């Protein structure tokens, strides 16, 4: 179908400011992505998939500036022994990064890999993204594949000795960053990937993960600080038999964040969990869009999303479970809940199930509620002041999502961030 | 200790008067019981004292050691030493019992300008008190009151009381929903806390709790007023003859 003129104009206006990076190994991957993008056009307000989130600022030729805040926060994951890879406004910073040698893992910078004639990433870069374009267009991800200027390619052959940690620093108020990472886990391999930081004034990031049979991928991400920042992120993952994929995202602050997660369970007995906790205040807009496709026997998927909203903040959840014909014994679960701390905030949810197999268990639920007055009085009657009592109940509300993080140290890190965020809000 | 003078209370949302001039004076170290039929205003009295929303005091006063309770937030009343054992303890999913109790104890200590208890000291203290109430480690770890049986919830109330060491304890129908053994256990917990400086107001329908927690004074409440006061024998009279006779006599 031909694009409408406004969509065509908007797409070409954005493309005018971009140049395809030099590439040898991945030149065709990038070119094909550009063709995909031109065919679908960038998202507009009238697109059903963008009904609750205005894409204007994400597709505009220029990024709106975002002030860089002084970092009064203790950096997250500070207590975790990890390999740190630092990007400043979307540019790899070799000096700030650790040595990338890690047993069981090979890590390369995207630009270095592209300099070769042949590279393993050719089979994955933009390939999982392209698979994720069906049945719903994700044009910002295609744009990313075509124009990403940096990123890392991680090949995991065994059990990684420690987590790989991607740190996104934001220094320039006008930065507009496009990063693309690919993670390939061989059969039986195991990696924990951490991500944190505000990244840029505008951030477009794609993470493609290929989880081979029996491999395990754990992902914990903390998006925070720099209130005016905007981000559109995509995760595309393909899961082999007996594999495990678990991803958790904490989002605090950010005037606009859209996190899409597109998972495809292609091997029997695979397990996929996606969870998120977000805390929003004021003109915060946060969108979790998840699409999980079951295309194998006896797989399990869980989506657990919790949002705490106040002072006019908006939370969005679009979550879908698609069970293909033949994906029998699927166990799918989806819950999205919001805690609205005042009458100004809103939560918009669109849970979807589409099932073509007849022997499956799928459940979903979505709720919006205020703080439990009975519980609040009970805590206060024991001497806990209203502010801390509200925080306790808020953390209790978020607990189900945080419990999705398997590693206790990482869960504690996330909890500490939330506690600090709540305490700061209370301090005013 | 607790002084209630001519307390009139109505529901905030509707024009319904519930307490119509309650007078009550509880001296340090004593145990008072309030009995009365359903709807007489007993539970309302406990809620108004502890500061729950939804009630409007139209007349009268309530003071604890001279502090005007009605002016204070619920947490300030708690820090002054007022404790309400709930008739229906609230379940709080996601908040661990230990975290809850430690936050409560330390909030009160902080409010009183005392040093907060360290994690180790707190643990030592709660283990000893929990053991006396036959509360096991698992109950301490679980979310507050979630999945607790009726008896466990009430024992958990008494554990909170033991940890917070209040001066004035209000027990709102603590015996409701308890079998005889559970009631004995709860009563023992309460009796262990009886002391010179600590007073109790025990609200109950039935005399049987008062077999185990012996009151100094018994009040009969009806239609928002205390209509009769006396010694423990008054409770026995209710047990034998019901409220009807006493109420008829009072009118």
DSSP reduced 3-state for B244: helix
Paired tokens of B85: 């054992």
Q: At the top level of CATH, which class does the domain B2-250 belong to?
A: alpha beta
CA distance B146 to chain A (A): 12
- List C-alpha distances in Å: A155 to A176, A179, A266: 27, 17, 20
Angle at A402 between CA A400 and CA A408, to 5 degrees: 125
Residue A56, H or E segment: helix A56-59
How far does chain B reach from its first CA to its final CA, in angstroms?
30
Cβ contacts of residue A158 below 8 Å, gap of 6+?
Answer: A103, A104, A105, A186, A188, A189, A190
Phi, psi dihedrals of residue A410, rounded to the nearest 5° = -65, -40
Paired tokens of B137: 């480690």
Q: How far apart are CA A211 and CA A208, in angstroms?
A: 10
In the structure, what pLDDT confidence band is assigned to residue B241 with cuts at 50, 70 and 90?
Answer: confident
Binary contact (B95, A396; C-beta < 8 A): yes
Q: How far apart are CA B5 and CA B76, in angstroms?
A: 21
Q: How far apart are CA A425 and CA B191, in angstroms?
A: 43
> Is A65 near chain B, with CB under 8 Å?
no
Out of B83, B94, B108, closest to residue A396 by CB: B94
Residue A265, H or E segment: strand A256-265
Residue A374, H or E segment: helix A373-381
pLDDT, tens digit, for every residue of B177-236? Answer: 888 888 888 899 899 999 999 999 999 988 889 999 999 999 999 999 999 999 999 988
Q: Which residue of B has its CA nearest to A386?
A: B75
Residue with the bigger pLDDT between B172 and A74: it is B172
pLDDT of residue A423: 87
pLDDT, tens digit, for every residue of B76-99? Answer: 999 999 999 999 999 998 889 999
Q: How far apart are CA A146 and CA A39, in angstroms?
A: 13
| DSSP letter string, A329-372 | T-EEEEEEEEEESSTT-EEEEEEEEEE--SS-EEEEEEEEE---
Binary contact (A384, B111; C-beta < 8 A): no
Phi, psi dihedrals of residue A300, rounded to the nearest 5° = -125, 135
Out of A375, A380, A388, closest to residue B74 by CB: A380
pLDDT of residue B98: 92
ipTM of the complex: 0.95
* Residues facing B75 on adjacent strands: none
> Is A378 near chain B, with CB under 8 Å?
yes
pLDDT, tens digit, for every residue of A106-160? Answer: 999 999 999 999 999 999 999 999 999 999 999 999 999 999 999 999 999 999 9
CB A124 within 8 A of CB A153: no
pLDDT, tens digit, for every residue of B35-73? Answer: 998 889 999 999 999 999 999 999 999 999 999 999 999
> Is A395 near chain B, with CB under 8 Å?
yes
> Is B103 near chain A, with CB under 8 Å?
yes
A contact residues 356-375, partner B, Cβ 8 Å cutoff: 372-375
Q: How far apart are CA A128 and CA A144, in angstroms?
A: 13
> Is B90 near chain A, with CB under 8 Å?
yes
Dihedral Cα A167, A172, A173, A178, nearest 10 deg: -60
Binary contact (B107, A388; C-beta < 8 A): yes
Binary contact (A397, B94; C-beta < 8 A): yes
pLDDT, tens digit, for every residue of B93-140? Answer: 888 999 999 999 999 999 989 999 999 999 999 999 998 888 888 889
pLDDT of residue A149: 97
CA distance A413 to chain B (A): 18
Q: Would you kindly state where each structural domain of chain B is located, as residue ranges?
A: 2-250
Out of A373, A381, A392, closest to residue B78 by CB: A381
Q: What percent of chain B has pLDDT over 70?
A: 99
CB contacts < 8 A (A, B):
82
A30 Rama sector, left if φ>0, alpha if ψ -120 to 50, beta otherwise: alpha
Exposed e or buried b for every residue in A118-137, given b needs 16+ CB within 10 A? ebbbbebbbbbbbebbeeeb
Binary contact (B53, A373; C-beta < 8 A): yes
DSSP reduced 3-state for B200: strand
> Is A400 near chain B, with CB under 8 Å?
yes
Bond prior to B35 in cis (omega within 30° of 0) = no
Contacts B98 to A, Cβ<8 Å? none
Q: Cα Rg for chain B, rounded, in angstroms? A: 18
Pairing of strands A271-281, A244-252: parallel
pLDDT of residue A294: 98
* pLDDT tens by residue, chain A, 428 residues: 689 999 999 999 999 999 999 999 999 999 999 999 999 999 999 999 999 999 999 999 999 999 998 766 678 999 899 999 999 999 999 999 999 999 999 999 999 999 999 999 999 999 999 999 999 999 999 999 999 999 999 999 999 999 999 999 999 999 999 999 999 999 999 999 999 999 999 999 999 999 999 999 999 999 977 889 999 999 999 999 999 999 999 999 889 999 999 999 999 999 999 999 999 999 999 999 999 999 999 999 999 999 999 999 999 999 999 999 999 999 999 999 999 999 899 999 999 999 999 999 999 999 999 999 999 999 999 999 999 999 999 999 999 999 999 999 999 999 999 988 888 888 76
Paired tokens of A392: 């306790």
Closest CA to B36 of B149, B173, B142, B144: B173
Residue keyed to tokens 């004035």: B168
> Is B160 near chain A, with CB under 8 Å?
yes
Contacts A395 to B, Cβ<8 Å? 94-95
pLDDT of residue B38: 86
Paired tokens of A177: 């960053």
């Amino acid at each position: 179908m031909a694009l409408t003129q406004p969509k065509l104009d908007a797409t070409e206006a954005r493309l005018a400011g971009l140049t395809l990076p030099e590439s040898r190994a991945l030149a065709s991957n990038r070119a094909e992505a550009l063709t995909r993008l031109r065919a679908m056009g960038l998202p507009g307000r009238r697109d059903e998939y963008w009904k609750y989130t205005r894409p204007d600022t994400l597709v505009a030729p220029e990024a709106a500036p975002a002030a860089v805040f002084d970092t009064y926060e203790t950096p997250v994951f500070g207590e975790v022994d990890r390999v740190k890879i630092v990007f400043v406004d979307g540019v790899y910073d070799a000096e700030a990064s650790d040595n990338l040698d890690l047993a069981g893992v090979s890590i390369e910078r995207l630009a270095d890999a592209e300099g070769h004639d042949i590279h393993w990433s050719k089979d994955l870069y933009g390939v999982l993204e392209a698979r994720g374009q069906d049945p719903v267009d994700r044009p910002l991800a295609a744009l990313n594949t075509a124009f990403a200027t940096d990123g890392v390619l991680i090949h995991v052959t065994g059990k990684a000795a420690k987590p790989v940690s991607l740190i996104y620093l934001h220094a320039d108020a006008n930065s507009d960053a496009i990063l693309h990472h690919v993670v390939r886990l061989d059969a039986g391999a195991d990696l924990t990937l951490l991500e944190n930081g505000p990244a840029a004034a505008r951030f477009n990031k794609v993470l493609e993960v290929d989880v081979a049979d029996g491999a395990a991928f754990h992902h914990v991400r903390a998006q925070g600080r720099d209130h005016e920042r905007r981000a559109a992120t995509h995760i595309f993952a393909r899961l082999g038999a007996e594999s495990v994929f678990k991803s958790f995202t904490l989002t605090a602050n950010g005037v606009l964040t859209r996190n899409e997660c597109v998972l495809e369970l292609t091997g029997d007995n695979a397990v996929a969990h996606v969870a998120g906790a977000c805390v929003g205040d004021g003109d915060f807009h946060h969108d979790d869009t998840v699409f999980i496709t079951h295309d194998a026997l006896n797989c399990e998927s869980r989506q657990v999303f919790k949002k705490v909203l106040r002072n006019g903040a908006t939370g969005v959840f679009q979550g879908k479970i698609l069970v293909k014909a033949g994906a029998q014994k699927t166990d799918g679960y989806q819950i999205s809940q919001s805690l609205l701390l005042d009458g100004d905030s809103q939560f918009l949810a669109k849970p979807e199930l589409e099932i073509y197999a007849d022997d499956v268990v799928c459940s979903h639920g979505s709720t919006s509620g205020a703080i439990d007055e009975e519980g609040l009085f009970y805590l206060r009657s024991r001497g806990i002041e209203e502010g801390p009592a509200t925080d306790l109940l808020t953390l209790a509300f978020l607990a189900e999502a945080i419990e999705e993080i398997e590693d206790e140290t990482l869960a504690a890190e996330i909890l500490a961030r939330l506690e600090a965020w709540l305490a700061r809000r209370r301090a005013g | 200790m607790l002084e209630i003078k001519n307390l009139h209370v109505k529901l905030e949302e509707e024009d319904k008067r519930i307490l119509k001039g309650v007078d009550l004076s509880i001296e340090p170290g004593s145990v008072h019981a309030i009995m009365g039929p359903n709807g007489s205003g007993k539970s309302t009295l406990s809620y108004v004292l502890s500061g729950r929303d939804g009630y409007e005091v139209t007349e009268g006063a309530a003071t604890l050691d001279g502090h005007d309770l009605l002016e204070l937030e619920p947490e300030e009343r708690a820090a002054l030493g007022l404790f309400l054992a709930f008739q229906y303890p609230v379940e709080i999913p996601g908040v661990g019992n230990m975290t809850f109790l430690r936050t409560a104890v330390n909030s009160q200590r902080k409010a009183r300008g005392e040093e907060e208890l360290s994690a180790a000291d707190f643990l030592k203290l709660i283990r000893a008190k929990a053991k006396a109430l036959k509360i096991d480690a698992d109950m301490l770890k679980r979310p507050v009151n979630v999945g607790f049986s009726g008896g466990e919830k009430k024992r958990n109330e008494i554990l909170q009381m033991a940890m917070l060491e209040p001066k004035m304890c209000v027990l709102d129908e603590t015996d409701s929903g308890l079998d005889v053994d559970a009631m004995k256990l709860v009563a023992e917990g309460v009796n262990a806390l009886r002391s010179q400086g600590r007073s109790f107001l025990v609200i109950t329908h039935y005399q049987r709790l008062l077999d185990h927690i012996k009151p100094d004074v018994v009040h009969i409440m009806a239609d928002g007023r205390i209509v009769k006061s006396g010694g423990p024998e008054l409770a026995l009279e209710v047990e034998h003859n019901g409220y009807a006779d006493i109420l008829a006599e009072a009118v």
